[in-house]
Structure formats: C-alpha cells, structure tokens
Amino acid sequence: MASGGFKPKEVAYQAAALAAVLAVVWFFVSNTVANLDARRIASGFGFLQREAGFEIGEKFFLTYGAADTYARALVVGVLNTLGVAIIGIVLATGLGAAVGLSRLSPNFMLRSAAAAYVEFFRNVPLLVQLFFWYALITEGLPGPREALSPLPGVFLSNRGILLPSLEGAPRLEGFNFVGGTAITPEFAALLAGLSVYTAAFIAEIVRAGVLAIERGQWDAAQAMGLTRGESLHFIIVPQALRVVIPPLASQYLNLTKNSSLAVAIGYPDLVSIANTTLNQTGQAIEGIAIIMGVYLTISLSISAFMNWYNARIAFRR
C-alpha cells in the first residue's frame, strides 16, 4: 500500500500503544530486579566467566574440560544443537523428498509404502519415537565387550557406532573403546528421530508442491520427448520449489526447536547444558534468557536464509 501521507490520529494511537508496551516491560523488569534484590538472589551474567566444573559427554569441533568456563560449556551446547540440527535438516530433506516423490510414483507398492511411512511417522509423538530409537540402540545392541563387527574396524554396541579414523581403528580397552570416531547412541537416536519424523512432513510438502504444477506442464514436457525423470528434474521440480520453500522453512525451524527434546535421552544440547548451569548457579532468569536468545537467533537465521533463497528462485517476469 502506498503511504497515505501524515495522519496525526494514527501516529498518536501507535505512539500510545508503544508507550503501553514499554510501560509493561518496564514494570516487569523493575519488579524482577526489586524482587531478586529483596530476596538476596544473585543476578547478572557474571557467572559465565566462572569455572563450570562439570563434564560434557559430546562435543563438536571444540575441546572442553571441567576446568573451562560456563560460557564455553554453553558454546559447546550451542554447537551440539547446531550439529544435530544441520545434519538432521540435510537428512530429513533428502528422505522427505524421496518419500514425497514416491507417493506420486506410478508403482503401486512404492506409492503405498510411502503413504504408510508418512501416516505412521507423523502421527506418533516425537518424544515416543526418540525413546524408541534410544531403546533400540541401548537395549537391542550388545555391550562393548561383545560388540558386533560387521566390517573390520567398525563396531556396533550399546556404546554407539565406532568407525576407524585417521588416528587409527577403535580397540577395546578397559570399559570402553578407545581411538577411532564414535557416533554415540544419544546422537544417533536424536538424529534418527528428528530426521525420520520431520521427513514425513517434508514428504507431504513436496507432494503438494509437485501436485500444484498444472497438468499442462507435464503434457508439454512429454510432448518434447522428456522421460518422467527428466520432466521432474527440468520442468516440475524447479517450479514446485516456489510452493515448497516457505512451508519447508517452518519444518526446518520445527526440527531445530524439537532438538531440545534431547534432554530426555541424554544428548548434551543447549537446553541440557543450560539446565545444569542454571542449577549450579541458581540463576534461572539468566539461564532461560540465554536459551530463548539462542533459539531465537538460530530460528531467525534460518528464516532469513530461507526467505533469501525463496526470493532468489522467484519468477522474474
């Protein structure tokens, strides 16, 4: 809508609304500060520089020990959340696209299997699915001393999946495997749960996107001699993307936020580490503010990226 010039009444209303919001915010903040002070509860973010003192079971990219600060512990938590979210988004997108396209396949078996997948996984609560994957790994696989070894240097046990790395192959020493790279049961269960669950929703979005393309486009592609696969690749999918991207962005946001269910199965994500921090320092308001701030930042970044991508692939006429 074009701007309609200066309207004093509208400006006055908006200024009043803004003032009311600010007054409410001020009321809450000043009350909180006064209450904390009256009860002699410590406040502020000074605790971030103190020694954390607890261990973290899993870290991406960053080294961390109990002697490091709370700030570093929280960064480890953020990276753990980002790690599982990014890999989860990639897997969910791939799986979801495959299932979504299968639902449109002329092959009856493939079509039905895809439909069953979608109906099953999107209708069972995610938390239940996480417990299922976690129990499957911890109860279904043998202990480290009886680990399965499907390939030389690869071990499957209830301690996770161990793969050889540049430093050498994993070997059993004392209680656990040492050396190699481990995919822990917590990470594997969380990743499987998030990807499989979100893929069911993405499959429906992909199907809707493809169905939104007019029949004429298929006919035209066929008339030019393209096979079904080629039609999808060159004609249908590029157009479907415009329909698919906005709802896909909300699935990515959902997946990221759902990763906070990690506390239930012991993956040390941001919420898990912030909880421990909050407990050791007793500073609940700061702890929750940090959790909210980080999720808000991650979510807004994903939104911004998806909006940018959506604008880039939009039709230019």
Partner 1 sequence: MKKTAILVLALAAFPAYGQSTLDAVKNKGFVQCGVNTGLAGFSQPDSKGVWKGIDVDACRAVAAAVFGDATKVRYTPLTAQQRFTALQSGEVDVLARNTTWTITRDTSLGLNFVGVNYYDGQGFMVPKKLNVKSAKQLNGATICVQPGTTTELNLADYFRANKMSFKPVVIEKLEEVLNAYFAGRCDVFTTDVSGLVSTRASRAPNPADHVILPEVISKEPLGPVVRHGDDRWFDVVKWSLMAMMEAEELGLTSKNIDSQMSSANPSIQRFVGATGDVGKMLALDNKWAYNVVKQVGNYAESFDANLTPLGFERGLNRLWNQGGIIYPMPIR
Where along the sequence are the contacts to partner 1 (CB under 8 A)? 28-29, 31-32, 34-36, 38-42, 53-57, 66-67, 131, 134-135, 138-139, 143, 158-159, 173-176, 178, 185-186, 263-266, 268, 271-272, 275-276, 278-282, 284-285, 288
Q: How far is the CB of 194 from partner 1 (least distance, A)?
A: 18
Based on CB atoms, which residue is closest to partner 1, 96 or 185?
185
Based on CB atoms, which residue is closest to partner 1, 52 or 97?
52
Based on CB atoms, which residue is closest to partner 1, 167 or 219?
167
Based on CB atoms, which residue is closest to partner 1, 106 or 140?
140
Residue with tokens 């570093």: 72
Q: How far is the CB of 200 from partner 1 (least distance, A)?
A: 25
How far apart (Å, rounded) are the C-alpha atoms in residues 2 and 199? Answer: 41
Q: How far is the CB of 92 from partner 1 (least distance, A)?
A: 24
Give the amino acid at 168.
G
CB-based contact 190:265 (threshold 8 Å):
yes
CB-based contact 287:275 (threshold 8 Å):
yes
Burial class (CB within 10 angstroms; exposed 0-12, middle 13-18, buried 19+) of 256: buried
Q: How far is the CB of 291 from partner 1 (least distance, A)?
A: 9
Q: How far is the CB of 143 from partner 1 (least distance, A)?
A: 5
CB atoms within 10 A of CB 263: 15
Based on CB atoms, which residue is closest to partner 1, 97 or 191?
191
